[in-house]
A and B are shown apart, each in its own frame.
Chain A
């Protein structure tokens, strides 16, 4: 029984590996075929030399960085206060942070566009709405990462010690708490980065320049460059999650459900 079990395990595993790697292999080989007859990195060179790519990609990075900064500014104090002062509100906040799982992204953007595209709330064209939307999408990961980080340290003692030394709220939060949960914040930040860089729906329907809509547009136009971009995108996801695994060392969890 033992041996046949192992055999079956190998068969299942190899099937899984094939299914996982074949699409990537196909994309990679395809991305090398831009020059007729030989394998080359020409498609990648084309992508990086394309001003439209640089433009869209830089915007995606900008959106990601802004989302992370505002996310930290909003979610860290919230999680901190909830933990210290208002544990009764905890389940309410947790419910809200998990809502983005229940509302499909396309329905969410549908609500955003319809709500904010008429006076007096005409901000549908403002980048602020996009950032706010991204903050909502990354909230389940960011908030939970921060909350897990806070659970691991003794918030109350740290706060009281800082207070008795005369620290104000600002310096407690940013000089004491923030450095103590920096690993959790980093993993939340890189997850948010991976989400925003690969995100298609919000940028597409709020009509903002971004990497994923650009790639979707290029699929209709070109053959080899989208393949190169898919590989770049995959490498970025891999890098972001790799960094989380490195800094977290088993602490955080790395899984995303949105963005499909």
Chain B
């Protein structure tokens, strides 16, 4: 069947190349675990993974919380109905608006000559005197949020829809206050979904490359950036190590997607 030939040629075969070469000595092609072991010894690689994981944690938790609040506000916050549909449309666009144009949009906003910075300066506050730069960790986190929280809104909205009003009314009839409603009714139902989507956001940010590359010109040491530079020149000094690093990224992503799937299934039991 042509589909399987296609998938094998251009997806499975290249992926298996990465797996196979990760366990091969780059000179002799003999089987070895050296690359995998070196992965955990190489400070440069560990540092890159660590920054990638930190930025993914921060933007998935931050984007997840804000996205949840936004979705809840639009759906159950008593806002006009139109807010909900426009929010969903905007989020559909924003979660797609990534990469090079996104990087530039934030350069126009938050670079030293950017719009917001010049407004703040006019108010007598220059964030650059307080250690802020767009091109490092926190700046990149702010930029990543732009595609993180819309994805959260899109995925969590059906779960919030599934919270039945009867549950709130029932808990109120039983004398629960709003904290008790959240603690014993709403959160236990939503939590798997919230956590699952946050894990998905983690993967979303962990695999991101183009935005960081365009924003920092490859100056920030993310795992994806290291793989990108390994492609153009052997920066790690060992081709086998590059494969092992790519394999490590796939492993992290696979964990994230599996976690998301499991948690999403748990939610579906309640929300039909």
Q: A residues touching B (Cβ–Cβ < 8 Å)?
A: 1-2, 5-6, 8-10, 12-13, 15-16, 19-20, 22-27, 29-30, 74-75, 77-78, 81, 93, 96, 98-116, 129, 132-133, 135-136, 194, 198-201, 205, 212, 215-216, 219-220, 226-227, 229-230, 233-234, 237-238, 241, 245, 253-257, 259-260
Q: How many A-B contacts at CB < 8 Å in the complex?
A: 244
Q: Are A215 and B210 in contact (CB under 8 A)?
A: no
Q: Are B3 and A78 in contact (CB under 8 A)?
A: yes
Question: Is B1 part of the contact surface with A, judged by Cβ < 8 Å?
Answer: yes
Of the listed residues B97, B102, B242, the one surrounded by the most CB atoms of chain A closer than 10 A to its CB is B97
Name the one of A9, A30, A135 contacting B78, with C-beta atoms under 8 angstroms.
A9
Name the one of B1, B73, B74 contacting A8, with C-beta atoms under 8 angstroms.
B73
Q: Are A20 and B90 in contact (CB under 8 A)?
A: yes
- Alpha-carbon distance between A201 and B17 when the two chains are bound, in angstroms: 19
Pairs of residues from A and B, 10 with the lowest C-beta to C-beta distance, nearest first: A9-B77, A104-B207, A111-B14, A26-B115, A9-B73, A260-B208, A23-B105, A230-B101, A78-B3, A26-B109
Q: Are A260 and B98 in contact (CB under 8 A)?
A: yes
Query: Size band of the B side of the interface?
Result: 35 or more
In addition to A105-B207, A110-B230, A219-B103, 6 A-B residue pairs with Cβ atoms within 8 Å of each other are: A6-B79, A26-B114, A29-B115, A78-B3, A104-B250, A106-B227
Instruction: Show 10 residue pairs from A and B whose CB-CB distance is below 8 angstroms, ordered by the A residue.
Output: A78-B2, A104-B206, A104-B224, A104-B250, A107-B207, A109-B231, A114-B18, A136-B11, A253-B154, A259-B98
- Report B17 CB to chain A, min CB distance, Å: 5
Of the listed residues B208, B210, B213, the one surrounded by the most CB atoms of chain A closer than 10 A to its CB is B210
Q: Are A106 and B224 in contact (CB under 8 A)?
A: yes
Q: Are B3 and A230 in contact (CB under 8 A)?
A: no
| A contact face: mostly helix, strand, loop, or mixed | helix
Question: Is B171 part of the contact surface with A, judged by Cβ < 8 Å?
Answer: no
Q: Are A241 and B15 in contact (CB under 8 A)?
A: no
